[in-house]
Structure 1
Amino acid sequence: MGKMKVCIIGAGIAGLCSARHALCNGLEPTVYEQSDDIGGTWQYTDEIGINKYGIEVHSSMYKNLRTNLPKEVMGFPDFPIPEEEASYISSENMMAFLSKYTEKFEIRKHIQFLHHVIRIRPRNNKWEVIVKDLCNDIIKTEMFEYVMVCNGHYHTPSYPNLKGIEDFKGKAIHSHDYRSPDSFKDENVLVIGAGPSGMDLAHSVSLVAKTVILSHHLSETPKTKFNSNLIQKPDVLKVTENEAVFTDNTSIPISVILYCTGYKYSFPFLSSDCGIYIEENCIKPLYKHVLNIHYPSMAFIGIPFYVCASQMMDLQARFAMAFFCNKKPIPSQKEMLADTEEEMQKRWKMGYKKHQAHMMGPIQYEYYTDLANTAGVKNIDIVMAKLHDVSSGRFLDDLVNFRNDIFRLVDETTFIKIN
């Protein structure tokens, strides 16, 4: 009898560590990647929209990006990013690190590049995967025992319902299609959203634009000292042909709208038979944000956000392997549904909204510990969550300078800032 086969969708961070742990556990991974390289969201391309193969461009990476979390929390638990002077590294350095990881664990030979997954459906206790070889324009069908969905969640833009947008005469783009500030020179730019990308791009655009209006509903105004041509405003009430009207009843002329309004989870390749659906950006039904409760031979890696992403994805992959490889018995469907409902009720009582069903942030370490205890695998060091929380706060307080911070890990519980 041959090895059990696992289909892995995407060769970004989640897909790479899933393939690595599949190999460690004696499974045979096939990674389908629709681009021509590893890296997922870290892979830069000038292309936007639809590429030459008729596929939507996946990456949202823009020029000169440096990480907004220190590299000390961005490596894998047993494969850290090498020590160097800076804590905040470039996307090129991140890609180089992922390339070393891929070589170390001999993953590349298991990746089928320029392969686009069309459809996945359960069939005869296995998974039927229909995939298109983009180079040769060939459709193939393969069968697998397991599926790991690792397509990320920074590729399908989310847009607000903006009153009057049909009347707006200027240009409007989403941060997904942003590559450099050059096209914003001398424009009056409305940036909607003050998450990490909104803050970053508002600052970058302000270096060349005439004015930048950063519209957000943060409960506390960021302490960052922006350029003098950047104005912070509350939510947009409506737009007209050439103005934005805000909820404080003021209006400002605008020529460009830059949506920094986040992304939606999207799995267009999953058939309805898989039993997965999305309701207000909450993916249902998932056990511990990972296993498909209807078919626990399908795992989703990397769904939670405001987390130590690489560390968490590695833990989730090991969590999934514990069940795939029968190291831990899979709970009954009833038990998994009850566990999920209990967790969601706790979230609602804490004030979380439905679209925040997968948000971790201050409760991230509690989540990691639950995963580790449930699967009987090693937890992430708590220092990761501590450093994540501190560095995230610095981002809001001093956007312009926070990437000059240099951190060092002392042990599994302690870090120091050395400048």
Structure 2
Amino acid sequence: MTTTRFAPSPTGHIHIGNLRAALMNYLIARKAGGTFILRLDDTDRERSKQEYVDGIMRDLDWLGLHWDRVERQSERLDRYAAAADRLREGGRLYEVFETPTELDLKRKKQLNMGRPPVYDRAGLSLTDEQKAALRAEGREGYWRFRLDHERIEWEDGIIGPVSIDAASVSDPVLIRHDGQVLYTFASSVDDIDMNVTDIVRGADHVTNTATQIQIMRAMGGAPPRFAHHSLLTGPQGEELSKRLGTLSLRELREQGVAPEAVLSLMARLGTSQPVELRLSLEEIAEGFEVGQFGTAPTKFDPEDLWPLTRERNQHLPFEAVADRIAGMGVPDDLAPRFWRVASQNITTLDDLAGWWQLFSEGAEPEIAEEDRGFVAEALQLLPPRPWTDATWGEWTAAVKAATGRKGKGLFMPLRKALTGRSDGPDMAEMMPLLQVDPRAI
């Protein structure tokens, strides 16, 4: 069975970059009728917080990316300890003691000699007596995985054939001096234990993938299929790293961006397919193939979310917004008309409040000096409320007959006098919604 996972760290809010991996893994699982796991990488006890766990779940739920089960790495520490013991027994996990300063000096020396800055495996030659002496000095040991110096190869679902020389990569640290299991190790154990078959993640993980393939094989597991999507940049190709806080899903939701807009854009961004609004994940899944994504950095412009949000909101049936409209105080008999009229003139649903304020409280008239006499005369011809669909046509016909004005010179001053705006919905549709006689403003 196809099994995928999304494995965020609950140390902050999900941003738009994280979403690419979540969405792709979700769609692979759903298209295959498989399992989508939400796996919380919460082994960092200091930075992981329940509020971020709740936020991650809230964001995924908002998008409709519903998981089949939740796993927490903090509840699997015994499993990691057992896997580490097996690697030690097999000679693949060894203890080291270098400080960050010492490692930095080693890297600089290697670079000065024209060599790649790869860990020199000094820890492998330490005797038990030497280790005891280092501990007596107050040193704290941590654990590295000994890579086999061979080429690590796989067929990547997006990049294509990948081949990395393990000798060009430092033996990865798997366990810190305080016992914290690091991502590279915990994720490898989890992916084997949970029978994960497919993993999509960012291109910045390619080297991690190489080392994890060896870790999985050392533990007797079969690595899953990997695909590495390109990283997002800003619209001009700039790095997004400094802006990701403002591009969290929470921020986008609070700004009124529609979830369908986010999903529709992210499901096509980086492919040759046009971005088109899709109103369900089922529609999105139909056209999704991970191999369609390119390897070049993908430009993301948050402004592209607004036209899609506008289009989505225009597709909403009245039933979807009835409670919101009722909460604004729109009378039941006017609510369906209000939605029909206002929905075509909003971007976010929050924009509805401004339209109801205009209809219920009136607007400051916008009258050009040269039109004051004309508007005053026209308002005398305005029939008393209640107004109907026919009122606008009947009134403007009477004004035209009385003043001789026609076309834009007739209609625009009257629109501005009633709404304070030069644009907006059809006036015939708006007239029954106007609750305030402009003569009283």
- Name the TM tier (shorter chain): under 0.3
TM-score between both structures, scaled by the size of structure 1:
0.24
**Structure with more helix by fraction:** 2
RCO greater where, 1 or 2, for CA within 8 Å and sep 6 or more? 1
Q: Which structure has the greater CA radius of gyration?
A: 2
Task: Give TM-score, length-normalised by structure 2.
Answer: 0.23
